[in-house]
Amino acid sequence: MSHKSDALHEKFKTLPNKIYEENLKELIKQKLNLSCDEYEIRYSEGSSKGDNYIGIIYRAEEQKGISSKHDGFHEVPLCYKTLTVEPFEGLYIEDLKVKGFEVYDRNKELTKEHVMLVMEVLAKMHAIFYCMKEQEPDLIDVYKKRNDYFIMRCERKGSLMSSWYEDSRDQALEVVEKCGNSELIKKVRALLSEDILSLFKSCLNLDMTEPYATLCHGDCWNNNMMFRNDQSGNPISVKFLDWQIMRYSSPILDIMYYIFSCTVKSLRDKHYQEFINFYYDSLSRFIVRLGSDPEKLFPRHAFDDHLKKFGKFGLIMGVLVLPVFTSDVDEVPDMDEFVSNLNEVESTNEEDNNEAVSKGVCYVTTKTYPIYAERLLGVCEDLYNFGYL
């Protein structure tokens, strides 16, 4: 936002429709006590192509013995206003970039420091919900009934999820078949022979999860986080974005999705067990500080059991998302357009269009195939060696 005296030669963008702009002006009036003739709004995209695949972020250029101020869960941007009326849902959140937060380049390898920071924040978030579940169960009950996004997507009439998964699975199997480890190949084939709906339902089976389910982020990967670094370039803070796929499940799903979709095998070879132990130790510490007993809410033996039960989620998500996550920035499919087409095609259930749209997600090119193949095979090898398959 700038005053009228500022230069007007810049190229302005606009919000998707007038409803968003009118609500922004109302927010400015409430928060800053400015009338429309006292300012001018400049817009720019809050993310680059490939940063956030579903939903365009716009930013108006203009912020029990525990101290909530210092120790609360502040790893999210401030939210100034929400719109909940379909089809004009929206959030007005603070611009994290002015505070030095940036999305980490997904084409660079994450460091140990990035992963440890994310493990600690995930542990804090999961711990808060575990303690709420015990101490204020009514606050959590409503989320237990929340339908999982992926299961809803699979079950809707004319769904393309199966086509997307089958194309991605076949692509993954081509990689695995060349590895030379017959037992690994057998395990991966057996897992991926299940349909996508069955796979998601098995990972979200509350009979297998309770009494150790908690609220989870649901879409826990690199580009749904923004990091702030110190002067040496080391990450010291992180903010989580995009909470619309939150689910009530084992916290292992968040951990597996992040570690196996966002890190490379060489990092896991050195630090995987350290990541896992640090997460659990942090979870236990936060639970104790919140006045509960980790041995009751999620004992270590149950945590290890969940790793064996739900560790396969790392491969399921890897199969679906690594083709996109490893794609070249200039070749990234427009996922907003893809989802729009997905909704339209699913409503018409036209078979030819189904195939065309589903192919749009399997976006591995000759240039990116070696990166994709190395990452995918690394996931399979690690999950096999850890006994998760």
Same domain, residue pair 49 and 109: no
**Are residues 112 and 95 both part of a single domain?**
no
Helices (H), the chain: 18-32, 68-71, 112-135, 137-144, 149-155, 161-176, 182-192, 196-203, 206-209, 252-262, 265-289, 294-297, 300-310, 313-325, 335-348, 351-359, 369-385
| 226/323 same-domain check | yes
Q: What is the mean pLDDT of residues 234-260?
A: 95
pLDDT for 85 equals 82
**What is the percent of the chain where pLDDT is above 70?**
74
Q: Is the pLDDT of residue 157 over 90?
A: no
Domain final residue pick, 99, 134, 159: 99
> Is 140 within the bounds of a domain?
yes
Ordered alpha helix ranges (H), 44-145: 68-71, 112-135, 137-144
Residue that wins the pLDDT comparison between 162 and 170: 170
Contacts 24+ apart (CB under 8 A), 57-60: 58/13, 58/15, 58/20, 59/95, 59/97, 60/1, 60/24, 60/95
pLDDT for position 265: 97
Q: Give residue 153's pLDDT band: very low, low, confident or very high (50, 70, 90).
A: confident
Domain match, 158 and 29 both: no
* Averaged pLDDT, 298-327: 95
Range of the domain at 376: 101-385
Q: For the chain, how big is the Rg over CA atoms in Å?
A: 22
- Asked if residue 9 is part of any domain, the answer here is no
Whether the pLDDT of residue 12 is over 50: the answer is no
DSSP 234: -
- pTM for this model (two decimals): 0.81
Q: Are the C-beta atoms of residues 114 and 237 closer than 8 Å to each other?
A: no
Mean pLDDT of the chain: 82
- Separation CA 368–CA 7 (nearest Å): 42
pLDDT tens digits for range 63-108: 355 566 666 788 888 888 888 888 788 888 888 999 999 999 888 8
Give yes or no: residues 41 and 89 share one domain: yes
The whole-number pLDDT of residue 146 equals: 84
Would you say residue 375 has pLDDT above 90?
A: yes
In a domain, 181, yes or no: yes
Residue 31 lies in a domain: yes
Q: Are residues 94 and 140 in the same domain?
A: no
Same domain, 42 and 118: no
Residue 376 has pLDDT above 50, yes or no: yes
Residues 45, 161 within the same domain? no
* pLDDT-based confidence at residue 14 (cuts at 50, 70, 90): low
Q: Is 10 a domain residue?
A: no
Residue 2 lies in a domain: no
Q: Does position 171 have pLDDT exceeding 60, yes or no?
A: yes
pLDDT tops 70 at residue 379: yes
Q: Please indicate, yes or no, if residue 141 is contained in any of the structural domains.
A: yes
Residue 355: its pLDDT value, please?
Answer: 54
Based on the fold, state whether residues 217 and 357 are members of the same structural domain.
Answer: yes
> Collapsing DSSP states into helix, strand and coil, what is residue 2?
strand
Co-location of 144 and 257 in the same domain: yes
Q: What is the pLDDT of residue 10?
A: 42
Which among 165-169, 300-304, 353-357 has the top mean pLDDT? Answer: 300-304
Residue 267 lies in a domain: yes
- Does the structure show a pLDDT above 60 at 13? no
What pLDDT digit, counting tens, does each position of 317-359 carry?
999 999 888 887 666 555 555 566 556 655 665 555 555 444 5
Domain boundary among the residues 72, 99, 126 is at 99
Is the per-residue pLDDT at 221 higher than 80?
Answer: yes
Mean pLDDT of 285-295: 93
Query: How does DSSP assign 138-190, residue by residue?
Result: HHHHHHHTPPPHHHHHHHSTT--HHHHHHHHHHHHHHHHTTS--HHHHHHHHH
Question: Do 147 and 80 fall into the same domain?
Answer: no
Q: Which two tokens stand for residue 16?
A: 């998707």
Domain-ending residue, one of 61, 83, 99 = 99
Domain CATH code at residue 201 = 3.90.1200
Element (H, E) at 91: strand 90-93
Q: How far apart are CA 47 and CA 251, in angstroms?
A: 28
Helix (H) or strand (E) holding 83: strand 79-83
- On the 0-12 / 13-18 / 19+ scale of CB atoms within 10 A, 369 is middle
- On whether both 197 and 281 belong to a single domain, the answer is yes
Task: With H, G, I as helix, E, B as strand and everything else as coil, classify residue 363.
Answer: coil
Number of structural domains found in the chain = 2
